[in-house]
Chains A and B, each alone.
Chain A
Amino acid sequence: MPLLALLTIALQDAPAPASTALRVDGWVFMILSVSFVTLLVGWCFYKVLTTPEQKS
Chain B
Amino acid sequence: MSSKQAWGSRLGVILAVAGSAVGLGNFLRFPGNAAQNGGGAFMIPYFCALLLLGIPIGWAEWTMGRYGGRKGFHSAPAIMGVWGKGSIARYLGGIGILIPVAVYFWYVLVESWCLAYCWDYLVHGGIGLDPAQSIPEQVQTSSAHFLDFTGQASNGSNFAGGISESLVFWIVSTIANVWLIYRGLSRGIETFCKWAMPAMAVCGIVVLVRVLTLGTPDPAHPDQNVVAGLGYMWNPDFSALSNAETWLAAAGQIFFSLSVGFGVIINYSSYMKRKDDVVLSGLTASATNEFFEVALGGLITLTAAVAFMGIATTTANTGGTFSTGFNALPVVFAHMPAGRFFGGIWFFMLWLAAITSSLSMLQPAQAFLEEALGMAKNAATSVLVLVCLAGNVFVLWFSKGLVALDTLDFWVGTFMIFVMAGVQVICFAWVVGMERGMKEAHEGAQMRIPAFYRFIIKYVSPLYLLAVFGAFCWQKVPGYVTQILGDESAGIPPNHDVLMTWLVIFGLIAAIAVITALGVRRWRAQGLDVDGTRPPDDEVAPAKR
Contact = CB atoms under 8 A, between A and B. Distances in A.
Contact of A20 (B14, B232, B281, B474): B232
Given A20-B235, A30-B234, A34-B294, A8 B245 contact: yes
A48 B232 contact: no
Contact of A44 (B228, B232, B287, B294): B287
B37 interface: yes
A41 B40 contact: no
A46 B217 CA distance: 39
A4 B248 contact: yes
Contacts of A3: 244
Binding site secondary structure of chain A = helix
A44 B276 contact: no
B295 interface: yes
B306 interface: yes
Chain B, interface size: which category?
A: 35 or more
A12 B281 CA distance: 39
A28 B293 CA distance: 18
B306 A29 contact: no
Contacts of B245: 4, 7-8, 11
Contacts of A37: 287, 290-291, 293-295
A29 B248 CA distance: 20
B274 A41 contact: no
A14 to B, nearest CB: 9
Nearest to A48: B284
B353 to A, nearest CB: 16
A22 B231 contact: yes
A3 B306 CA distance: 31
A22 B230 contact: yes
Contacts of A20: 228, 231-232, 235, 306, 311
B137 to A, nearest CB: 20
A34 B276 contact: no
Interface in A3-56: 3-5, 7-8, 11-12, 16-17, 20-23, 25-30, 32-34, 36-38, 40-41, 44-45, 47-49, 51, 53-56
A32 B475 CA distance: 32
A44 B41 contact: no
A22 B235 contact: yes
Nearest to A8: B245
A32 B441 CA distance: 30
B290 A40 contact: yes
Q: Find the residue from A25, A29, A47, A49 having the highest chain B CB count within 10 A.
A: A29
B234 A38 contact: no
Contact of A11 (B14, B37, B274): B37
Contacts of A53: 10, 276-277
A26 to B, nearest CB: 4
Q: Find the residue from B231, B298, B315 having the highest chain A CB count within 10 A.
A: B231
Nearest to B243: A7
A15 to B, nearest CB: 9
A33 B43 contact: yes
A25 B444 CA distance: 42
B448 interface: no
A8 B444 CA distance: 46
A32 B273 CA distance: 37
A47 B244 contact: no
Q: Find the residue from A34, A40, A44 having the highest chain B CB count within 10 A.
A: A44
B47 interface: yes
A47 B275 contact: no
Contacts of B275: 54-56
A32 B46 CA distance: 13
Contacts of B508: none
Contacts of A41: 284, 287-288, 290-291
A48 B244 contact: no
A7 to B, nearest CB: 5
Contact of B299 (A34, A44, A47): A34
A26 B234 contact: yes
Given A38-B291, A41-B291, A48 B39 contact: no
Interface string B244-283: 1100100000000000000000000000011111001101
Contacts of A55: 275
Interface string B1-40: 0000000001100100000000000000000000011011
A2 B41 CA distance: 25
B280 A48 contact: yes
A25 B290 contact: no
Contact of A33 (B227, B294, B315): B294
Given A11-B245, A51-B280, A56-B275, 18 more contacts: A2-B478, A4-B248, A12-B36, A20-B231, A20-B311, A26-B40, A29-B43, A33-B43, A33-B298, A34-B294, A37-B287, A41-B290, A47-B446, A47-B447, A48-B11, A49-B11, A51-B446, A54-B277
6 contacts: A2-B474, A7-B243, A20-B311, A26-B230, A45-B284, A47-B446
A-B pairs with lowest CB-CB distance, top 9: A29-B40, A44-B284, A22-B231, A26-B235, A20-B231, A30-B234, A41-B287, A54-B275, A26-B234
Interface of A: 2-5, 7-8, 11-12, 16-17, 20-23, 25-30, 32-34, 36-38, 40-41, 44-45, 47-49, 51, 53-56
